[in-house]
Amino acid sequence: HSIRVLHNLSFVEDPTRIFRAIRFEQKFSFTIGRQTLHLIQNAIKIGFVRRLSGFRILHELQLICAESDPVPIFERIRGLKLWHEIFPDLKGQFKPERRIERLQAAKEVVSWYELLYLEEKLELWRVYLLSFLDGMNTTQARYCVARLGLDENAVSRFITVRQNGIIVAAELGRLCRKGKTYLNSELCVRIDELPLDVILYI
């Protein structure tokens, strides 16, 4: 089965259709038609994705993260060089291909958590975004979060809890490398103030 646009200006009128085409292609094991793929590549090259608001991009990413397996969709986004269009100001400071393994790890953690059938609601996109940002410095991470349309207060909260999670992860990593053990109660004290998405990121 092929995915095709109804007319040649489809991605010009609404570039978010690019994300939808990719999502449907991977979800249903379809193939984006040759002409449609050419139109997608042209729209990317001309810069229509860069002009999208962060809010609209975030909405599409949230839909992708809600899929049972978003990793192939993320991989297709990477293959079409869309990450560079979503976050153009990074200017090659990061390698999107290195982030697929982090996103795959996030997917495995999310699947594990969902099998627990716990009542606390999980915002999937935050876990995947934290994993995508892994290894970036604070300035780069702040830029990416702000690019997705969050207001300044939301950006600051996200960056603060991310940094707290990084500190806790580093502390636990040092304990493991030293061969030390800690009680479950000690672990709970370390992570008690962190939101669920950051705990799963750790």
pLDDT of residue 146: 97
* Burial of 185 from C-beta contacts in 10 A (0-12 / 13-18 / 19+): exposed
d(CA 188, CA 182): 10
Q: Is 104 exposed, middle or buried (0-12, 13-18, 19+ CB in 10 A)?
A: middle
Q: pLDDT at position 94, please? A: 66
pLDDT score for 18 = 97
Check residue 186 and give its pLDDT: 78
In whole angstroms, give the CA distance from residue 193 to residue 202: 13
- Provide block-wise average pLDDT over 10 residues at a time, the chain (202 residues): 92 96 96 96 95 97 96 95 91 74 95 91 95 94 96 97 93 77 79 92 94
* pLDDT recorded at residue 179: 72
SS (H, E, C) the chain: CEECCCCCCHHHHCCHHHHHHHHHHHHCCCEECHHHHHHHHHHHHHCCCCCCCHHHHHHHHHHHHCCCCCHHHHHHHHHCCCHHHHCHHHCCCCCHHHHHHHHHHHHHHHHHHHHCCCCCCCCHHHHHHHHHCCCCCHHHHHHHHHHCCCCHHHHHHHHHHHHHHHHHHHHHHHHHHCCCCCCHHHHHHHHCCCCHHHHHHC
pLDDT given for residue 93 in this prediction: 65
Give yes or no for a contact between 48 and 11, defined as CB atoms under 8 angstroms apart: yes
